């Protein structure tokens, strides 16, 4: 019987029956495109973790900083969706907003900040999403479960990665609030999606794992 660590190297497959066919996604993106992008990430992570384990190294999610791994998930999905949906493309502007833009809308398919497109974020939290700015745009959030770099010290067992939920909607600036920071904290000031924004995204859920 394989050990828990070996089993955790294989992510939980995406459930094709857990998608909301009635979900509304703009710019020609469909739940099928989202599903294929999620499956691409599952294949990628399973391959990488298998290779790491074969060399007696920790899984990717077990040694990366939690925020960095979440960024990896979001960046991968933001790159994968346009590969399956030809009506959109990856924003070619470095750190441009939003991540995915309608193909041919902006010169050279690059824009530092534009009103049209889809911003993609990934998070272990299902009820909290943060960004660096208060932004009015279509936001798609990929929630997931996985180990973190802190789990070994906390005695938490190996856990295979899995997507738990995908939600998305057009948010207004009024759906965000700056979080601020205390004088004793050094983290970058961020903005947080308010309950009003979550209500919009939850109403238009795209994926919900059982």
pLDDT digits 0-9 by tens, 100-129: 999 999 999 999 999 999 999 999 987 767
Tokens read off for 5: 């660590």
| β 162-171/130-131 pair status | unpaired
> How far is residue 23's CA from residue 15's CA, in Å, rounded to a whole number?
16
Phi and psi, residue 201, nearest 5° = -70, -40
Q: Answer yes or no: are the C-beta atoms of 185 and 168 closer than 8 Å.
A: no
DSSP 105: S
Tell me the percentage of the chain whose pLDDT exceeds 90. 73
Among 66-75, 77-86, 175-184, the range scoring the smallest mean pLDDT is 175-184
List the domain boundaries for the chain: 4-12+21-208
User: What confidence score (pLDDT) does residue 1 get?
Assistant: 47
What's the mean pLDDT in 151-169? 93
User: What confidence score (pLDDT) does residue 136 get?
Assistant: 81
**How many residues are recorded in the chain?**
210
Mean pLDDT of the chain: 90
User: What confidence score (pLDDT) does residue 188 get?
Assistant: 56
Confidence of residue 175 (pLDDT cuts 50, 70, 90): confident
pLDDT digits 0-9 by tens, 179-206: 655 444 445 567 788 888 889 999 999 9
Residue 208: pLDDT over 80? yes
Q: What is the dihedral of CA 156, 162, 167, 173, to 10 degrees?
A: 50
Sheet holding 130-131, edge to edge: 130-131, 191-193, 176-178
pLDDT digits 0-9 by tens, 40-71: 999 999 999 999 999 999 999 999 999 999 99
Any bridge partners for residue 5, and if so which?
Answer: none
CATH code that applies to domain 4-12+21-208: 3.40.600
> How far is residue 123's CA from residue 141's CA, in Å, rounded to a whole number?
7
Any bridge partners for residue 191, and if so which?
Answer: 131, 178
What's the mean pLDDT in 29-33? 98
Residue 141: pLDDT over 70? yes
């Amino acid at each position: 019987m394989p050990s828990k660590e070996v089993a955790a190297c294989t992510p939980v497959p995406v459930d094709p029956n857990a998608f909301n066919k009635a979900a509304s996604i703009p710019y020609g993106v469909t739940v099928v495109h989202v599903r294929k992008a999620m499956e691409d990430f599952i294949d990628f992570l399973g391959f990488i973790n298998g290779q790491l384990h074969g060399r007696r190294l920790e899984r990717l999610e077990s040694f990366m900083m939690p925020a960095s791994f979440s960024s990896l998930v979001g960046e991968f999905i933001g790159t994968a969706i346009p590969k399956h949906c030809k009506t959109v493309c990856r924003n070619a502007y470095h750190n441009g907003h939003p991540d995915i833009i309608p193909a041919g809308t902006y010169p050279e398919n690059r824009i530092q900040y534009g009103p049209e497109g889809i911003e993609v974020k990934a998070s272990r939290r299902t009820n909290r999403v943060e960004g660096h700015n208060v932004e009015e745009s279509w936001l798609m959030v990929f929630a997931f479960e996985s180990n973190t770099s802190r789990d070994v010290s906390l005695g938490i067992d190996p856990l295979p990665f899995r997507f738990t939920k995908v939600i998305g909607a057009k948010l207004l600036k009024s759906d965000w609030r700056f979080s601020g920071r205390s004088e004793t904290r050094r983290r970058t000031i961020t903005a947080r999606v308010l309950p009003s924004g979550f209500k919009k995204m939850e109403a238009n859920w795209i994926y919900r794992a059982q």
